[in-house]
Amino acid sequence: MHESTGAGPGLVPPAATGGRDGEVRFEVAELTRVEGEGSLKLVVRDGEVVEAQLAIFEAPRYFEQLVVGRTPDEVIDIVARICGICPVAYQMSAVHAFEDLFGVTVDPAVRVLRRLLYCGEWIESHALHIYLLHAPDFLGYPSALEMAADHRDLVAQGLRLKRLGNRIIEVLGGRAIHPVSVRVGGFSRAPRRRELEALLPDLEAAIPEAQATLDWVAGLEPPDFVRDPLLLSLSHPHEYPYNDGRIVSNDGIDVGPDEWGSAFHEEQVAWSHALQARSHSGEMYLLGPSARVTLSPETLHPLAAEGLARVGMADEIRRNVFRSIVARGVELLHAIAEARDIVAAYAEPDVIRAPWTPRAGVAAWATEAPRGLLFHRYELDGDGLVRHAQIVPPTSQNQGAIERDLAGFAPGIMSLPHAEATHRFEQLIRSYDPCISCATHFLDLRIEEAGEPAP
């Protein structure tokens, strides 16, 4: 599959693809400004979308096997490596699953520090996506680096916000990517009060910058694309959903974080061996910032709630995925404001790492990665070693809905010049912030031979 890599932007005109009469094909051999390696293929025949595929050719790494025979703390280190963009999410879903099984209650200050760590990852990831990956689509640049030539202050602001998120992770976990301190029972080390206080001036300064970011992204003109998706996220009565809460949807799903398997399953679609997640009734659903902002507006930080009300886009965020950049802006503001509050009120934990005893059983939990719900399930033996693992990353859950949206979006842009329409499809995919390296189930999808009828 790598023959396309580095061979150019991959925009193939329809005449070159061997399409039949009346057939138009849109293909991007390697998507750019996404995490990991994927491609897009959309086939329209006689005005009908007959195929819409987000294909993934990331090479498999067998993480669910790599963790077999390992201890819970080793698993926390290993699963972080599923994704360089959201390692904290993997550490969090795993550590909560194990603590739930072992009956460990962590120190309240440890629980707060984990929220702070997640704030750091959300800030870093959302700033990365808004400024470096997604905004260039709206402003018409190939990258943020080119964008900086005309909008240097804007890009510099995005980089400052991104740096702040990374600094939070560095203080708590030693480094921004694959931090080292998360352990079953708490942390291997808790930060001293003065270390966190050093972040406070920059957190204070970042709040108006995040507010400005939100106002800016709300002013970016989205393509017109309205639908009514099934949305799903964690929800908690008092906290914006990070580490804890029930899995809820806007059509009535309401299950515990350990009960993912009772409401959902993974299935293999006919044209692909990628596993996609569905609810048991077969519904495709959408995760991520738009889902969380829609399902949990009442637990947003007051500053973020005020920002959402100011831009007045709650309904558009729900209905138009191109407005996900606004949802990300709301959550960026939320995470910075919550991080500031946590740092300002921080008292070092009495018990940095609660003792625990392994036991056999099933450890299962879900937390909210920046791009959506991340479910882990481990079967442990009596020594506390993993015997079986299932990891369901957000992008594999979103993939079905992304493909459905590609098909739904196509009729409205078919009349555009081919290259422009292809770019719009790419922009649509980037709206979901797909994290392809995460999606351990996503594989070398076989693309049908050109001209061969779609199944």
Partner 1 sequence: MPAADSHLHPTRPKAPAEAIARPRVGVAKLTSCDGCQLTILDLEDHLLEIAAAFEIVEFPEATSNRSSGPYDVLLVEGSVSTPEQVEWITELRRRAGILVTIGACATAGGIQALRNWGNEPAWRASVYPRPELLETLATSTAISDHVVVDAELRGCPIDPHQLLELLASLRVGRRPQLADEAVCLACKRRGTVCVVVAEGIPCLGPVTQTGCGAICPAFGRGCYACFGPKEQANVESLAAWFAEHGVDETSVPRLFAGFTAYAPPFREQAERATRHAHGQKERTDA
User: Contacts with partner 1 in 36-65 (CB under 8 A)?
Assistant: 36-37, 58-62, 64-65
Q: Is 444 in the site for partner 1 (CB under 8 A)?
A: yes
Q: Is 27 in the site for partner 1 (CB under 8 A)?
A: no
Q: Nearer to partner 1 by C-beta: 311 or 439?
A: 439
Measured at the alpha carbon of residue 112, what is the angle toward residues 367 and 195, in degrees to the nearest 5? 125
Longest dimension (CA), the chain: 72
Binding mask 111-140 for partner 1 (x = CB under 8 A): -----------------x---xx--x----
Q: Nearer to partner 1 by C-beta: 28 or 97?
A: 28
CB 367 within 8 A of CB 93: yes
Report in angstroms the alpha-carbon separations of 353 from 91, 103, 288.
15, 14, 31
CB of 192 to partner 1, least distance (A): 12
Q: Is 414 in the site for partner 1 (CB under 8 A)?
A: no
Distance from C-alpha of 153 to C-alpha of 135, rounded to nearest angstrom: 14
Distance from C-alpha of 275 to C-alpha of 264, rounded to nearest angstrom: 12
Q: Which of 14, 45, 50, 78 binds partner 1 (CB under 8 A)?
A: 78
**The pair of three-digit structure tokens given for residue 333, joined into one six-digit string:** 């503001």
Q: Nearer to partner 1 by C-beta: 181 or 397?
A: 181
Q: Is 273 in the site for partner 1 (CB under 8 A)?
A: yes
Q: Is 226 in the site for partner 1 (CB under 8 A)?
A: no
Q: Which of 25, 41, 70, 328 binds partner 1 (CB under 8 A)?
A: 70
Q: Is 402 in the site for partner 1 (CB under 8 A)?
A: no
Q: Which of 50, 112, 177, 263 binds partner 1 (CB under 8 A)?
A: 177
In 3D, which of 300, 151, 142 has the Cα closest to residue 216? 151
Q: Is 349 in the site for partner 1 (CB under 8 A)?
A: no
Q: Which of 143, 224, 360, 453 binds partner 1 (CB under 8 A)?
A: 143
CB of 417 to partner 1, least distance (A): 17
CB 356 within 8 A of CB 77: no
Class of residue 65 by CB neighbours under 10 A (exposed 0-12, middle 13-18, buried 19+): exposed
Helical packing angle, 200-218 and 302-311, nearest 10°: 20
Measured at the alpha carbon of residue 79, what is the angle toward residues 394 and 186, in degrees to the nearest 5? 105
Q: Which of 23, 27, 30, 209 binds partner 1 (CB under 8 A)?
A: 30
**The pair of three-digit structure tokens given for residue 320, joined into one six-digit string:** 């138009």
Identity (one letter) of the amino acid at 24? V
Q: Is 74 in the site for partner 1 (CB under 8 A)?
A: yes
CB of 132 to partner 1, least distance (A): 6
